[in-house]
Amino acid sequence: MQLYQGAIFSHAPCANAVKLCELARELIEDAFGPLDPREVQDAMPPEQTAEILSVLKPKFIHHPKAKENIQGMLAELGCNLEKTYFDVPRLRTAFPGNYLKSGIAYAFHPHRDTWYSAPFCQINWWMPLYPISSENCMAIHPQYWNKPIPNSSHQYNYYRWNQQSRYNAAQHLKSDTRVQPRPKEPVELDPQFRLVCEPGAIYQFSAAQLHSTVPNTSNMTRYSVDFRTVHLDDVWTRTGAPNIDSACTGTSMGDFLKATDFSQLPPEALAFYQDGTECQLCPPA
């Protein structure tokens, strides 16, 4: 599959993508009303914005309609829903300048999702919710597709992260002390491919691509939605992008839900990706 060889695809807005976009915008506009949500940085202190986001983001993530819209979108884009699994969509923000860059609004340093225990067959999907430009989007750094980067992913375990860090995101307002996998030496960000498309259009790329949040030099906050998918055949056959530099432990495979009935992957398939750390770090079921 071309995505496993570094290709990046984009799709024009389909009906369900537009619905997902509208749902997210409705929740955002409710949360920040009557302000234009793209200009909140000019109107309220970052502490207040962080507080609003700490309610808004989980509300979107767990909204039943969001799952239905993704299901519909995957069907419209020709995915086999019986074999496609997705995780819940995340709502992301990128504020201009230094307004709010950590914790709940973390501005992602260059990383591969596979440094964060993502499976190598994971495909990332990324969609802006309002018009964006190259000054407030995200970027892919394609020269690192087959160039290893010394990094600290060996310190990252997915289960430990879930236990200790994720739910505290809103507390990390000024700086982020959570241990995240990072490049151990400076990376050359150029050439970079900036993902710019209209609201509701969506980019698709491998979890192994090096990507980052573009420093927002515009005067508008960027709101986007992303989610991830895996295909059951690839899960079973361990088909995916090559691992050139990831050394994390644990797996996020348990987060993926079947696109038909939102059930988890078969236990035998999950077991295939477990490395023993789940026993030490997860409470018994």
Contact positions vs Fe ion (CB under 5 A): 113
Residue 113 C-beta: closest distance to Fe ion, Å: 5
Cα separation of 242 and 249, whole Å? 16
Q: Cα(3)–Cα(205) distance, rounded to whole angstroms?
A: 6
Comparison of 87 and 113: residue with beta carbon closer to Fe ion: 113
d(CA 153, CA 110): 13
Q: Which residue of the chain is nearest Fe ion when measured via CB? A: 113
- Between residues 14 and 196, which has the closer beta carbon with respect to Fe ion? 196
Give the number of other CB atoms < 10 A from CB of residue 20.
29
Alpha helices in the chain (DSSP H): 15-32, 46-61, 64-76, 158-164, 232-237, 267-271, 277-281
Q: Which is nearer to Fe ion, 23 or 195 (CB)?
A: 195
**Cβ proximity to Fe ion, 45 vs 148, nearer residue:** 148
User: Based on CB atoms, which residue is closest to Fe ion, 113 or 234?
Assistant: 113
How close are the terminal C-alpha atoms of the chain, in Å? 36
**Inter-CA distances, 8 with 123, 205, 254, Å:** 10, 5, 25
DSSP 177: -
Mark out the alpha helices in 33-154 (DSSP H runs). 46-61, 64-76
Nearest to Fe ion of 113, 278 (CB atom): 113
Give the dihedral sign, CA 268/272/276/280. negative
Give me the least distance between CB of 209 and Fe ion, in Å please.
Answer: 9
The encoded tokens of residue 243 equal: 């691992």
Please list the helix, strand and coil fractions of the chain in percent, rounded to the nearest 5, in that order. Answer: 35, 15, 45
